[in-house]
Amino acid sequence: MKFFKGQKGWQTGGKAGKAVFKLPIRQISLQRIGGEANIFNMEKNFEPLKGRLRVICDRLDSEEQASFRPLIDNFTGLTSEFQRIMRDLGKYGEKIGDGSKFAIYREVQNLFDQANRGE
Residues in CB range of 101: below 8 A, 6 or more apart: 89, 93, 94
Do the beta carbons of residue 69 and residue 31 sit within 8 Å? no
Average pLDDT value over all residues in the chain: 77
Predicted model pTM: 0.63
| CA 60 to mean position of chain CA atoms | 23
23 pLDDT more than 70: no
Q: What is the pLDDT of residues 53-79, one digit of tens each?
A: 999 999 999 999 999 999 999 999 999
